[in-house]
Structure 1
């Protein structure tokens, strides 16, 4: 048999692999590599930043977070920044949160706390708490994080503020988990890293479509100009991703991902809580405007088709003893695998995350399957489970 004579099935499979590989290369270099390109430009001094440091209001909603407030709030209150306040909204806590906040207020003059009114209806508790905090804030620039989070350095606010140009209204940052061990932690951390490469990558190519409330900033004026969370008050989530999806434009959004501006959050303690977070996110992502959601879905589809076609081509090559076909399929997979290792791990290094090698082929398949499973959970449970709380 002529090694370079292929039958029609082999030709179709090889052509499909080539097309799908090109699609994957385009996504990795035009989207997933953007964080590394941005961080490299920042480290080499190729980006122009603001030197003014406007006053900032840091907004934190906390519900039964007494231990986290005691543990992490000082790292925010002690930021190296000339003029800022921290407003914590005690959202109906039944633990010692009120006592912790009262004690910390005596130690820190820039800390203020308030509470959400009881009996609020037709609005999620989180959105009500944030709205209360925003109305109580003194300054136009608002920075958001959560009670179970800590900044990676005392320069967090300075690094976020260097993006506050006159035309900027939104700054998106990166948040990652604290270091932990185990397979579940690796999967959760990789999911978070890959998701961040997606939404921050789109923002860096002037197509912002969402934000994460653990590390982001926007102007108070922007919040009230767009009537706050009024368009999705009845949804449990959406205070970060849906709001940014509505107000972000190619011209008003910047990204800050330097190591000192990273927010570290408590590691996920179990599958159940992590699943609830992901299912809730899928419930709100359904309302996203823009083509980004479909473009990401297309990337996932092309990825799974690429893997399936590689497996099918290898099987055909073995059955037909067509070693050239087998070799080309393996070579295509190796090329994509090397591209993944380089781009994902360069980004992971920039963001001070762990690197991934042998687990990448596993996560390639597991992550889309998780999303499919979570979508089924959301469908079975219905819309009502994601309404106001």
Structure 2
């Protein structure tokens, strides 16, 4: 059993180094947004069959405390009253602009095509993206996100969380996974290796979009309008982070485990198109997590069980510090108390998703 314990200790050390690397983000202090920050911003929302969500959440976008912004709402070939709802808002508020997308053979049900049309419609050079089911945490969301732009920073990563709709274990799992993912992409950006962002709360300039030739390099990939664009365009020099509690959005989570797993299958399939260095680092992190737990359970039936428990305790302490302090930033501290269970469950779910994607491609949200 000694070789297994040595392997366990080595794997645990590698995994622990990642968590220690997350400390910089977890213990960072959000910058105070200056009142003078008032860049001209276009909020872009791509909506497909989102009539009810637009009725509920678009007024919160329009009530943002920001002096210069417009909202481009894209009707992405909806089958419900989405277009009619957008037009109603347009009649009441001149800041609302409509893009009506109809399916065609070349770009059938392609969100990237719809977003490209919306970006071309934008009058302002600073673009802020969110979804139709997203609610800003405050009326300063737009200002907090856009204030991160500078002459050098053309991409801003924000936090897009989910509503606490009930006390179910699924809701906590979804929010924990979202927080865990955010810890990683914010931390990697701090390391100078930005690799993804979430379309629920993401900003970049139109100049950056056209500089990258839009979504052309990954237009063949149905998903990934947010993370693949960031993976392609983001660098240590041009990427900023918005960590203010007022710069958060929250959206409606999936209602059942099957729908959420199908959503995660699509996300995992997109990750296969990341740059090689990102795939390696993310893969190493997940592999050390998985092997740590497998070897831990093996060692629990050996004479090394006490040492294995001691290493697990050290890992839990470091993890706890990361999850708690990160959770405080984004109002997710309630999931902290369940992190040992949620992490273990998430590891096995991710393994199942990886295997399922090898067998068959996930269905697309469209």
TM more than 0.5: yes
Q: For residue 49 of structure 1, report the CA deviation from its aligned partner.
A: 7.1
Q: Which residue of structure 2 lines up, in the alignment, with residue 265 of structure 1?
A: 251
Q: Which residue of structure 2 lines up, in the alignment, with residue 195 of structure 1?
A: 181
Aligned 8 A contact 2:42 2:126 in 1? yes
Q: For residue 51 of structure 1, report the CA deviation from its aligned partner.
A: 4.3
Q: Deviation per CA, 1:220-244: give whole Å up to 9, x if none.
A: 0111122111112222112111111
Aligned 8 A contact 1:123 1:234 in 2? no
Secondary structure of the 1:64 match is: coil
> Using the alignment, how far apart are the partners of 2:150 and 2:49 within structure 1?
36
Q: Which residue of structure 2 lines up, in the alignment, with residue 373 of structure 1?
A: 352
Match of 2:62 among 77, 92, 99: 77
Matched, 1:87 2:66: no
**TM alignment of 1:123-134, pairs within 5 A:** 124-134=109-119
Aligned 8 A contact 1:349 1:355 in 2? no
Aligned 8 A contact 1:35 1:347 in 2? yes
**TM alignment of 1:226-265, pairs within 5 A:** 226-265=212-251
> Using the alignment, how far apart are the partners of 2:356 and 2:294 within structure 1?
25
Alpha-carbon distance change, 351 to 382 in structure 1, aligned in 2, over 3 angstroms = closer
Matched, 1:137 2:116: no
**TM alignment of 1:151-230, pairs within 5 A:** 151-180=136-165, 181-230=167-216
Secondary structure of the 1:164 match is: coil
Q: Which residue of structure 2 lines up, in the alignment, with residue 18 of structure 1?
A: 9
Matched, 1:326 2:305: yes
Aligned 8 A contact 1:49 1:163 in 2? no
Instruction: Answer with 216-225 or 306-315: which moved more.
Output: 306-315
Secondary structure of the 1:359 match is: helix
Gaps of 5+ in 2: none
Aligned 8 A contact 1:185 1:267 in 2? yes
Q: For residue 118 of structure 1, report the CA deviation from its aligned partner.
A: 3.4
Match of 2:323 among 332, 344, 347: 344
Alpha-carbon distance change, 98 to 356 in structure 1, aligned in 2, over 3 angstroms = closer
> Using the alignment, how far apart are the partners of 2:98 and 2:63 within structure 1?
16
Q: Which residue of structure 2 lines up, in the alignment, with residue 320 of structure 1?
A: none
Instruction: Answer with 165-174 or 347-356: which moved more.
Output: 347-356
Q: For residue 346 of structure 1, report the CA deviation from its aligned partner.
A: 1.3
TM-score (norm 2): 0.93
Q: For residue 122 of structure 1, report the CA deviation from its aligned partner.
A: 4.0
> Using the alignment, how far apart are the partners of 2:360 and 2:92 within structure 1?
46
Q: For residue 257 of structure 1, report the CA deviation from its aligned partner.
A: 1.9
> Using the alignment, how far apart are the partners of 2:206 and 2:35 within structure 1?
19
Q: For residue 305 of structure 1, report the CA deviation from its aligned partner.
A: 2.2
> Using the alignment, how far apart are the partners of 1:351 and 1:219 within structure 2?
25
Matched, 1:362 2:326: no
Instruction: Answer with 169-178 or 193-202: which moved more.
Output: 193-202
> Using the alignment, how far apart are the partners of 2:295 and 2:102 within structure 1?
57
Alpha-carbon distance change, 235 to 326 in structure 1, aligned in 2, over 3 angstroms = closer
Aligned 8 A contact 1:124 1:233 in 2? no
Q: Deviation per CA, 1:161-199: give whole Å up to 9, x if none.
A: 221110111000001100122111111111111111111
Q: For residue 105 of structure 1, report the CA deviation from its aligned partner.
A: 1.7
Could you say which structure has the larger radius of gyration? 1
Q: For residue 155 of structure 1, report the CA deviation from its aligned partner.
A: 0.5
> Using the alignment, how far apart are the partners of 1:204 and 1:49 within structure 2?
22
> Using the alignment, how far apart are the partners of 2:215 and 2:305 within structure 1?
55
Aligned 8 A contact 1:124 1:235 in 2? no
Q: Which residue of structure 2 lines up, in the alignment, with residue 100 of structure 1?
A: 85
Matched, 1:61 2:46: yes
> Using the alignment, how far apart are the partners of 2:258 and 2:98 within structure 1?
31
Q: For residue 35 of structure 1, report the CA deviation from its aligned partner.
A: 2.8
Secondary structure of the 2:312 match is: helix
TM-score (norm 1): 0.88
Alpha-carbon distance change, 357 to 240 in structure 1, aligned in 2, over 3 angstroms = closer
Aligned 8 A contact 1:170 1:254 in 2? yes
Instruction: Answer with 297-306 or 186-195: which moved more.
Output: 297-306
Q: Deviation per CA, 1:367-387: give whole Å up to 9, x if none.
A: 22212222233222248x55x
